[in-house]
């Protein structure tokens, strides 16, 4: 058996290489649908809130606070707002005088409102406006008129209640002061600071409001609701939707690390992509697809795989193993289509089913009463007896299938039995294509990889997991092997549409000569009557398996 031909590559890259802004942009691009969905839901919720939320209106009136000085001989003994030396504290004290049950009762009574005093009190707040000596009295209601009435009413009645308290205090003090004034000689009753002057000032206070509180600004009728705020709600919904969507995108990306683009494979694994296969509609089929079931782009993809592998090898026969990381990734379809593509060149190909746990070839090729591969592995029959000649799309293949009971033989599978089987297949055919089970799931199939010349890993877009691909690559390295490259299944066929239509149309003129630097592999005769791919006339085109240098034998 010849030494395997491999591309040398650095192996799995650190996740740190994919960090930063490029990774952020890629996640956003891949999960854009999720971000848009979250944003639409959040904005829709904001719109629904704006539509169904009750409308509230807010009105504001301002109360001016002018506390009396501590040295005022008239007001110092009266129940008015006295200066504490701290303007902020004075305003806070004034604010507390506005929202009291007495004021609320006076507002409801004076405005003839059909709400309780407590309900009115709950709808009003009084807060200082900085250090300007003002108290903002804000009222919130379901109607603009009621909000205006409450704001103005609480300012007016706060002054009225405090004034009534002041007048009551003056009325109780004034008779005694007048009696005392009568005992003083007329010439000494009046003058600056005299008792008569205090009586005059108190009598004036009985005819005016509390001098320490004054209405600074009255509330106007609100023209628009204060809640819900339509623009603010929509902007908040938009921002919240974007943040939730971005968070969900990274969350889904973390818990569902599936292959979404081939750049992920190159960044994470660092191995070449041998071919890209278009997305196919399986219509509920769980069995592998045959070449005639595939679209033109997919068929071209497998021809590309054939040519790439031929360009990497030599004129000797080779054993190609096709594997993956899980079921339903296109592994068996790739093995069959690759075998047909190689056989179409005239080479003899043995298609070997190594997936003993889930064999599908017997049903796919309608094989009955045949010798299974497990019998050859157990030395119960020769390979020649197990070979079944089938014709696929006009191309002959030698198929060695497994019975449905072959899983019982897995426990007895050994390297020597596998090596003998593959050696016998090499002896009768030019190329051996091995359909292997997923090696990360079925490790007992590893001997098939050890005796193969090329190992092809199949990865399906949206299904294969990146961590499983890394696990498979590490498994091969631990056993001294390197994968030849990847076949990416499930790419869009859109890019091939025009090309496919051109090649499948009926030519009216002779086909043009191949462009310089390219030629299809030829089939030549060899000793023993076998036919093989002759790659001596094949020149690789740019970008076809040339992105990495040719290496020697595999190994960590």
Does 192 have pLDDT greater than 80?
no
Does the pLDDT value for residue 294 go beyond 50? yes
Q: Which CATH fold topology does 54-217 show?
A: Bacterial polysaccharide co-polymerase-like (3.30.1890)
CA angle 139, 114, 50 (to 5 degrees): 50
Q: Which two tokens stand for residue 190?
A: 């009046």
The CA distance from 442 to 351, in Å, is 20
Are the C-beta atoms of 127 and 174 separated by less than 8 Å? Answer: no
Bridge partners of residue 435, in order along the sequence: 322, 353
- Pick the closest to residue 309 from 549, 9, 521 (CA basis): 521
Most trustworthy range by pLDDT among 117-121, 440-444, 480-484 = 117-121
pLDDT of 278 reads 82
Q: pLDDT value at position 326?
A: 85
Percent of the chain with pLDDT over 90: 42
| Pairwise pLDDT comparison (268 vs 195), residue with the higher score | 195
Residue 492 is predicted with a pLDDT of 60
Query: What band does 521 get if pLDDT is binned at 50, 70 and 90?
Result: very low
Which pLDDT value is given to residue 125? 95
Q: Per residue in 375-422, pLDDT tens? A: 999 999 999 999 999 999 899 999 999 998 888 888 778 899 999 999
**C-beta atoms surrounding 473 within 10 Å:** 23
Q: Which residues pair with 187 in a beta bridge?
A: none
DSSP calls for 408-467: GGGGG--HHHHHHHHHHHHHH-SEEEEEPPPTTT-GGGHHHHHT-SEEEEEEETTTSBHH
Average pLDDT, stretch 517-528? Answer: 37
Q: How far apart are the first and last CA of the chain?
A: 21
Q: What percent of the chain has pLDDT over 70?
A: 81
**Taking 70 as the threshold, does the pLDDT of residue 524 lie above it?**
no
Strands 349-353 and 395-400 come out as: parallel
Range picked from 111-115, 267-271, 326-330 for highest mean pLDDT? 111-115
pLDDT at residue 298 greater than cutoff 50: yes
Taking the C-alpha atoms of residue 545 and residue 549, their distance in angstroms, rounded to an integer, is 9
pLDDT score for 165: 92
Give pLDDT, residue 144: 94
CA distance 138 to 131: 18
What is the tens place of the pLDDT at every residue in 228-257? 888 999 999 999 999 999 999 888 877 767
pLDDT, averaged across the chain: 81
pLDDT at residue 499 in the model: 41
- Whether 550 and 7 have beta carbons less than 8 Å apart is answered as yes
Read off the pTM.
0.55
- Predicted pLDDT at 6: 42
What pLDDT does residue 373 have? 92
Tell me what pLDDT residue 57 has: 94
Question: What residues does each domain of the chain span?
Answer: 6-19+268-283+290-508, 38-51+230-254, 54-217
Give 469-517 pLDDT, tens digit per residue. Answer: 888 889 999 999 988 889 998 876 544 443 444 444 333 334 344 333 3
What pLDDT was estimated at residue 425? 94
Of the given ranges (233-237, 314-318, 443-447), which has the lowest mean pLDDT?
Answer: 314-318
| Crossing angle (nearest 10°) for helices 466-478 and 262-269 | 40
Q: Which helix (H) or strand (E) holds 273?
A: strand 273-278
pLDDT value at 455 more than 90: yes
**Residue 219 and residue 57: Cα distance in Å, rounded?**
12
CB count within 10 Å of CB 284 equals 5
Mean pLDDT across the stretch 144-154?
A: 95
Asked whether the predicted pLDDT for residue 436 surpasses 60, the reply is yes
CA 345 to mean position of chain CA atoms: 46
* pLDDT value for 256: 65
Closest CA to 445 of 345, 358, 532: 358
Is the pLDDT reported for residue 195 higher than 90? Answer: no
Examine domains 6-19+268-283+290-508 and 54-217 and report if their fold is the same.
no
Q: What pLDDT is stored for residue 510 in this prediction? A: 41
- Check whether the bond before 228 is cis (ω within 30° of 0): yes
pLDDT at 255: 73
Q: Name the more confident of 556 and 444.
A: 444
Q: Does 415 or 533 have the greater pLDDT score?
A: 415
Q: What is the CATH code for 6-19+268-283+290-508? A: 3.40.50.300
DSSP classification of residue 224: S
Confidence band, pLDDT 50/70/90 cuts, at residue 136: very high
Q: What is the structure's pLDDT at 190?
A: 83
């Amino acid at each position: 058996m010849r030494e395997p031909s491999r591309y040398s590559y650095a192996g799995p890259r650190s996740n740190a290489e994919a960090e930063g802004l490029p990774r952020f942009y890629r996640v956003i691009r891949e999960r854009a649908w999720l971000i848009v969905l979250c944003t639409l839901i959040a904005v829709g919720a904001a719109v629904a809130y704006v539509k169904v939320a009750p409308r509230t209106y807010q009105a504001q009136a301002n109360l001016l606070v002018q506390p009396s000085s501590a040295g005022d001989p008239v007001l110092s003994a009266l129940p008015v707002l006295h200066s504490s030396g701290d303007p902020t504290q004075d305003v806070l004290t004034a604010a507390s005088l506005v929202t009291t049950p007495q004021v609320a009762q006076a507002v409801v009574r004076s405005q003839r409102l059909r709400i309780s005093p407590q309900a009115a009190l709950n709808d009003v707040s009084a807060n200082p406006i900085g250090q300007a000596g003002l108290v903002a009295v804000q009222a919130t209601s379901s109607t603009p008129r009621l909000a205006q009435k409450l704001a103005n009413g609480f300012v007016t009645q706060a002054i009225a209640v405090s004034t009534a308290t002041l007048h009551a205090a003056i009325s109780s003090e004034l008779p005694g002061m007048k009696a005392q004034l009568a005992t003083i000689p007329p010439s000494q009753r009046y003058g600056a600071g005299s008792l008569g002057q205090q009586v005059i000032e108190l009598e004036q206070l009985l005819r005016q409001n509390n001098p320490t509180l004054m209405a600074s600004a009255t509330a106007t009728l609100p023209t628009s609701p204060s809640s819900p705020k339509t623009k603010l709600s929509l902007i908040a919904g938009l921002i919240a939707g974007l943040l939730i969507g971005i968070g969900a995108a990274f969350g889904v990306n973390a818990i569902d690390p599936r292959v979404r683009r081939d750049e992920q494979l190159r960044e994470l694994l660092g191995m070449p992509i041998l071919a890209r296969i278009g997305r196919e509609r399986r219509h509920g089929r769980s069995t592998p697809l045959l070449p005639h079931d595939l679209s033109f782009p997919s068929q071209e993809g497998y021809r590309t795989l054939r040519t790439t592998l031929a360009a990497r090898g030599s004129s000797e026969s080779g054993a190609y193993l096709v594997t993956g990381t899980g079921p339903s990734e296109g592994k068996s379809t790739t093995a069959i289509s690759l075998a047909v593509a190689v056989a179409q060149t005239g080479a003899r190909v043995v298609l070997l089913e190594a997936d003993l746990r889930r064999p599908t070839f017997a049903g796919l090729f309608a094989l009955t009463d045949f010798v299974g591969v497990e019998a050859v592995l157990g030395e119960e029959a020769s390979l020649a007896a197990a070979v079944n000649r089938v014709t696929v799309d006009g191309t002959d293949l030698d198929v060695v299938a497994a019975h449905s009971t072959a899983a019982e033989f897995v426990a007895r599978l050994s390297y020597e039995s596998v090596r003998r089987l593959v050696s016998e297949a090499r002896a009768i055919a030019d190329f051996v294509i091995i359909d292997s089970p997923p090696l990360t799931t079925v490790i007992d199939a590893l001997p098939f990889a050890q005796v193969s010349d090329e190992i092809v890993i199949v990865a399906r877009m949206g299904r294969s997991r990146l961590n499983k691909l890394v696990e498979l690559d590490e498994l091969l390295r631990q056993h001294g092997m390197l994968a030849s490259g990847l076949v990416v299944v499930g790419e869009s066929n859109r890019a091939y549409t025009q090309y496919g239509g051109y090649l499948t149309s009926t030519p009216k003129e002779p086909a043009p000569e191949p462009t310089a630097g390219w030629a299809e592999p030829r089939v030549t005769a060899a000793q023993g009557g076998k036919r093989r791919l002759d790659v001596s006339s094949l020149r690789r085109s740019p970008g076809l398996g040339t992105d990495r240098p040719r290496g020697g034998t595999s190994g960590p």
